[in-house]
């Protein structure tokens, strides 16, 4: 299913995908995730110093790949809003430590 996304956005995403930058960003995010807790996107921004648009996109990619899962809702320590945090799947933490 294709949504209405500007050609420039699709082209920019394709460009960073082809360059391998998406994989490097996703690996960088995974390297900062501890297997014993979950993270909001804002919390990941704080610990990685990456902008929210990078965190959001890579976390979506990682969820689709099964490398991250949604954890139960909770308040975000940064925004204080109720969020759906992300976490490593059970049993996967040792891969990224």
CA dist 61 → 21, 52, 66, 79, 81 (Å): 13, 14, 9, 23, 23
Say if residues 19 and 80 touch (Cβ distance below 8 Å): no
- For residues 26-40, average pLDDT: 93
Residue 11 is predicted with a pLDDT of 63
How far apart (Å, rounded) are the C-alpha atoms in residues 39 and 21? 22
- For residues 9-37, average pLDDT: 77
Q: What is the pTM of this model?
A: 0.74
- What share of the chain in percent tops pLDDT 90? 60
Domain boundaries along the sequence of the chain: 7-96
95 pLDDT higher than 80? no
Residue 3 is predicted with a pLDDT of 55
How far apart (Å, rounded) are the C-alpha atoms in residues 23 and 66? 14
97 pLDDT higher than 50? no
How far apart (Å, rounded) are the C-alpha atoms in residues 42 and 3? 26
How far apart (Å, rounded) are the C-alpha atoms in residues 39 and 32? 10
Architecture of the CATH domain 7-96: Orthogonal Bundle (1.10)
Residues in the chain: 97
């Amino acid at each position: 299913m294709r949504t209405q996304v500007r050609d420039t956005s699709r082209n920019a995403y394709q460009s960073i995908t082809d360059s391998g930058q998406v994989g490097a960003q996703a690996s960088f995010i995974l390297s900062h995730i501890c297997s014993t807790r979950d993270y909001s996107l804002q919390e990941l921004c704080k610990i990685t110093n990456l902008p929210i648009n990078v965190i959001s996109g890579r976390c979506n990619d990682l969820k689709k790949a099964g490398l991250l899962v949604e954890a139960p809702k909770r308040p975000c320590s940064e925004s204080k809003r109720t969020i759906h945090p992300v976490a490593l799947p059970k049993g996967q933490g040792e891969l990224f430590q």
